[in-house]
Amino acid sequence: MQISGKMVLVTGGTDGIGRQLALQLQAKGADVWITGRDAERLTRARGEGMQVITADLTGPEGIEAVLRGMGGRSLDILINNAGMGTEHDFRVGQPDMVGDERTLWLNVHAPIRLIVALMANLQTRPEAMIVNVTSGLAIAPSAGSPVYCASKAAMRSYTQSLRAQLKDTHIHVLEALPPLVDTAMTSGRGGRKLPPQECARQIIAAMESGADEANVGMVRILKALNQVAPWLVRRIMIGF
């Protein structure tokens, strides 16, 4: 896909992977719109020439805020990037059910609802794309974050089904599977982290090439290993 001249909506575009996607897409000539909750970060993005929509996508009100903010404008690319995790580990303590509900809403319900709400808009464009950002943990879960892993596995399944539904249309469906990326959400976690700039670069390269999946960084190895020894991948990943 040619990025220049396209209108792009990036959810969660004020920080981390989303911010880097927004900046790099803008540098390629896209008209970038982002959603976020932090007023200071949204102001910064507006000063950088982006269009901003204040929206909390952990509940249905956020979907309405996005639609109002767009005002019926034509959309070429929808990037469902916003995501969060929550503590859900009985070895540590009682899970946070409120956090679980917010995670499931943001990671699963919000992207699906945005796709449904914006599908008619995307269908009017000569070339369109939906990008769902999942995770390498959608391939094999870790023991420490079961709700997050379940939400990303759900979106991986949804994305594959959606791609099959739209295969004979002009709407391309891309799944982006990042590894552990150096963002606010992973602060305090050990291990080697991919810079968000590089993660965004690889996702955009997949968008431009028309790939079905962007297996980012170490996820390429994880995906390849899972094809020949899924039992080994599950054993390795469950320990994280």
Instruction: Please check the confidence at residue 16 and state whether its pLDDT lies above 70.
Output: yes
Q: Residue 71: left (phi > 0), alpha (psi -120 to 50), or beta?
A: left
pTM of the model: 0.95
Question: Is 69 part of a structural domain of the chain?
Answer: yes
Measure Cα distances from 101 to 12, 57, 59, 105, 189 in Å. 18, 12, 9, 6, 23
Q: Is 131 helix (H, G, I), strand (E, B) or coil?
A: strand
Q: Indicate which CATH number applies to the domain containing 52.
A: 3.40.50.720
Please tell me the predicted confidence (pLDDT) of residue 183.
84
Domain that holds residue 145: 7-237
Q: Active-site positions?
A: 148
Please tell me the predicted confidence (pLDDT) of residue 190.
62
- Extended beta strands in the chain, E state: 7-10, 31-36, 51-54, 77-80, 128-133, 171-177, 213-215
Tally of CB atoms within 10 A around 228: 8
Cβ(159)–Cβ(198) below 8 Å: no
Question: Is 2 part of a structural domain of the chain?
Answer: no
Instruction: Please check the confidence at residue 119 and state whether its pLDDT lies above 80.
Output: yes
What is the mean predicted confidence (pLDDT) over 106-130?
98
Question: Is 1 part of a structural domain of the chain?
Answer: no
Please tell me the predicted confidence (pLDDT) of residue 239.
82
Write the CB contacts of 119 (distance below 8 Å, at least 6 apart in sequence).
none
Question: pLDDT, tens digit, for every residue of 125-144?
Answer: 999 999 999 999 999 999 99
Q: Which residues partner with 128 through β-bridges?
A: 171
Averaged pLDDT of the chain = 95
Instruction: Please check the confidence at residue 187 and state whether its pLDDT lies above 70.
Output: no
Question: Is 156 part of a structural domain of the chain?
Answer: yes
Length of the chain (residues): 240
Question: pLDDT, tens digit, for every residue of 140-180?
Answer: 999 999 999 999 999 999 999 999 999 999 999 999 999 99
Residue listed under structure tokens 């249309």: 169
Question: Is 23 part of a structural domain of the chain?
Answer: yes
Number of domains in the chain: 1
Please tell me the predicted confidence (pLDDT) of residue 188.
63
Residue listed under structure tokens 């996820």: 219
